[in-house]
Chains A and B, each alone.
Chain A
Amino acid sequence: MSDVEAAFAEADGALVPYITAGDPDAEATKEQVRALVAGGADVVELGLPFSEPIADGSTIQEAIQRSLANGMTPGKFLDLVADLDVDAPLVCMTYYNLVYQYGDEETRANAESPVEPFVAAAAEAGISGLIIPDLPVEESAELRAACDEYGVDLVFVVAPTTEGSRLQNMLEQATGFVYVQARLGTTGARADVSDQTHESLQRIAEFDAGNSVPKAVGFGVSEREHAEEITAAGADGVVAGSVFVDIIAEHGDDAPEYLRQKARELKEGAHAGTSQSHPEPERT
């Protein structure tokens, strides 16, 4: 069982917050991560900013622009991760081109694949898993191989449109957790939990005979009730990003305290939901 899977197993309703690293700078990010973990985060998703974030809505796009404007790079990102000493596994969310380009010429020339240098450096820095939203399972063979070699989880996103053999394939390939996208569209806080969430969890349960990888629902989660509804519906946890990124944009230096409160609120919701979930265990 990987670090991430173990964190889910112990969590009893896991909270996976996302923030963009380097928003507004690396030191602030460290404080933010500590606050999130103090508030109850079980796994922390750290965004490594890419200039063309096609899967992100305006909230996270703006955070990415702030971070890039302040000089965040993949190298500085990994330094930041190496400096962080928190009691929660760290997962890196970024886009494929940054993974594909990483490393100096010599490292790249000696690597097994173009993506190996990044995975090796990420593992070395203490990254436990990767989420690459523009890398569908069909294009992931090289990255899957590198992740296996270095013991890094590769998290896939299951969309409301993911069905049939593609869903099956993804559930078989995923490690760490499966990121269930609650609705079509991009990331961003919403007022409610979409009906698509329930349908997706249902669909996954039908295909999920053998794989025990945890399921976490994200896209639009911002309130305690959302988290509770999601774990009550059978998910193992919730992912929430834009709500935390909004707090950072609004409160600046005072953000950590607000982050801690919001994390606590969502964690309580996620935990409360698990006790309402399925009198019979979902997976036997």
Chain B
Amino acid sequence: MSTDSKFGDYGGQYVPEALMPAIEELGDAYERYVLENEDGFMDEFRERMADFGGRPTPLQYAEQLSARYDTDVYLKREDLVHGGAHKLNNALGQVLLAKYMGKERIIAETGAGQHGTATAMAASHLDMPCEIYMGTTDINRQRPNVFRMRLNDAQVNPVTTGRGTLKEAISETMRDWATNVEDTHYVIGSVVGPHPFPNMVRDFQAVISEEAREQIREKAGRLPDAVVSCAGGGSNTMGAFANFVQDEGVDLYAVEAGGSSLDVDEEEGVAPNSATLTTGTDGVLHGARTKILQDSDGQIVESHSISAGLDYAGVGPELSHLVEEDRVTPVNVGDDVALEAFHRLSQTEGIIPALESSHALGYLHEAHDELGDVVVVNVSGRGDKDLETVLEETDKRDLDVAPDMDLFEGVER
């Protein structure tokens, strides 16, 4: 695994000076504890991920989808990790690392609330005080997750600037870190930010592909032809890809949120999508040089997706690099296709997927002919958190695949 601060032209450490010593200290801790297993750090991490987190997760053969697409479809069931998503892999790793480093306080940003809830769980589990920054827009559309964080004794700090979503929450958490850097660790939620975060978060998430690679060889007797994973910031993506990158015969598809359109509205400063790898351009955001959604002046534009967890104007620098190198293929599906895929998996396989993961399943539906005979799809999380959104968005559309919604007619919701 690479410890360089750059992935080709991408990555680096573009942060305020006050944070540089903390980032160097973190880089040192990452090398010693994560890469070299000093003091048995990685052993403890794996043990806790088993007992507290429920790992390993299964790689499940999806019978109905396989028959429908005439392709062997295997689902990596990250929705079964404690908390309902892959996010705990990273959150528990970082909170434990903060403890080994002697830090006394945990802060984190959250968009949809998945990383916030995972961090709150991990901090509670490891007895660390924890504060989560969350945009006011997100707080209002993700109330159950806010309540879960409060239940786990985390403080939730509302962020009122901008549109009140993930990028404002990241900026505000960076400000807190710049103020309290001496005793505080910032648990960043994806493979983004300054070095060493993109490397470190990838390594904590790489357990997904480490398990999946072993499991597919057992079940299918071979490596897959393709691995399909959704990509917002890209932590489940890099986790699902990391151990397959060296396998040249395995195609890697990063499925981004196409939103409602791939165009950028310069006038309004809005991109009605989060397809950063597909449509973004090189720039510097939140500590790293990577692909970002920006206007021609370099102002960051507001992104959009039906899935709050993919709704981000940047992407991990390593993914930008792997796309540049043609090792990862960026593709995208829009809100409608993702929503249909959500219903399809729920109906045919008995699994309610997160709207994020539904993008990967939507791409499987659209492109199954081109993906080969054996395909692994990463189900990065479960969809319970999205039920309100799905109810609303399904109601707006005429979807053949959705259950009959007449049941709800005239009912206040």
Contacts and interface: CB of A to CB of B under 8 A. Distances in A.
Nearest to A118: B298
Nearest to B283: A97
A159 interface: yes
A162 B298 contact: no
Given A97-B285, A161-B21, A163-B21, A55 B16 contact: yes
B35 interface: no
Interface in B175-223: 175, 178-182
B341 interface: no
Interface of B: 12-18, 20-22, 161-162, 167, 171, 174-175, 178-182, 269, 283-287, 292, 294, 296-300
B178 to A, nearest CB: 6
Interface stretch (A6-14, A45-53, A259-267): A45-53
Contact of A181 (B12, B18, B296, B299): B18
A67 to B, nearest CB: 11
A54 B283 contact: no
A58 B172 CA distance: 10
B283 A184 contact: no
A222 to B, nearest CB: 18
A159 B283 contact: no
Contacts of B21: 161-163, 166
A181 B171 contact: no
Contact of B171 (A52, A159, A185): A52
A81 B204 CA distance: 48
Interface stretch (A21-29, A36-44, A130-138, A237-245): A130-138
A197 interface: no
Nearest to B22: A161
A136 B22 contact: no
A146 interface: no
A282 interface: no
Contacts of B171: 52-54
Contacts of A173: none
B14 A134 contact: yes
Top 6 closest pairs, chain A to chain B, by CB: A101-B298, A185-B179, A159-B18, A159-B17, A161-B21, A51-B299
Contact of B294 (A96, A101, A134, A157): A101
Contacts of A126: none
Given A52-B286, A184-B178, A185-B175, A73 B18 contact: no
A252 B145 CA distance: 42
A32 interface: no
Contacts of B298: 50, 74, 97-98, 100-102
Contacts of B22: 161
A161 B181 contact: yes
A134 B18 CA distance: 10
Nearest to A104: B296
Given A161-B22, A162-B17, 20 more contacts: A51-B299, A52-B300, A54-B175, A55-B175, A96-B14, A97-B285, A98-B297, A98-B299, A101-B294, A101-B297, A133-B16, A134-B287, A136-B13, A136-B14, A138-B20, A139-B12, A157-B16, A159-B18, A162-B21, A163-B21
A160 B283 contact: no
A193 B15 CA distance: 24
A174 B215 CA distance: 55
A74 B296 CA distance: 10
B16 A134 contact: yes
A136 to B, nearest CB: 5
A139 B298 CA distance: 19
18 contacts: A50-B299, A51-B162, A54-B15, A73-B297, A97-B300, A98-B298, A100-B298, A102-B298, A133-B17, A134-B14, A138-B20, A157-B16, A161-B182, A162-B17, A181-B17, A184-B179, A185-B179, A186-B175
A169 to B, nearest CB: 11
A156 interface: yes
A101 B296 contact: yes
Contacts of A74: 297-298
Contact of B178 (A75, A100, A136, A186): A186
B17 A158 contact: yes
Contacts of A98: 297-299
A163 B25 CA distance: 13
B101 to A, nearest CB: 15
Nearest to A76: B297
Nearest to A170: B17
A136 B16 CA distance: 7
A97 B20 contact: no
Contacts of B174: 54
A98 B294 CA distance: 10
B284 A97 contact: yes
A102 B295 CA distance: 11
